Structure 1
């Protein structure tokens, strides 16, 4: 059984990897960080599709939070002033704004510093087309 939360991110995305490394150095969250490509997603109870779409915060008890909620949990875990920011992001209307900003960043991460074409999220049409196919 895990004793620490795990932050699962897209290790193929240069922007995501850089952001996680900066967060590790500056924010110092109390968690493990692991790229979804090098993790057992079934152990965390999440699909590859979800891991491709958003950063995930997996608690030691198995609860999974994604996107802006995962960022809020990460900040809460860091303590100090960061936990205040995390708490604010968990409250409406900041929670709604954070979710919107997260979606905007996620949709454009290939255009952000460190981003590459590998950072692009699969488009909705590709996800729908692949949904009926078995691997």
Structure 2
């Protein structure tokens, strides 16, 4: 795993206390690349970032595009192409859209979901960093 990805994962781990908003999909590259052994974890992390982008926004965190920017930083660091990139972006949008369909306002359940996603995202980031960082 490149040092840049390590730095982004560390940044994400450290910043897992703020939000974002899923806007339009990020463009996909045409060329295909083989799946990496940690792709499932990256897709889950992308889904968490999408959920946090929506939930933190409706709960008044005033973080703007923070979580969307974290997703962009993850994509920039990993530089996936083809289907890998498409799957990561789809996971982010799935996380955002799943909560958008359920929550219109901040509720106690939304606050619990935020806390759990922050914890899970931080754990994934730590585990990926420990397992794949140089």
Q: TM-score, normalised by structure 2?
A: 0.28
Computing the radius of gyration over CA atoms, which structure comes out larger, 1 or 2? Answer: 1
Structure whose residues are more often helix by fraction: 2
Structure whose residues are more often strand by fraction: 1
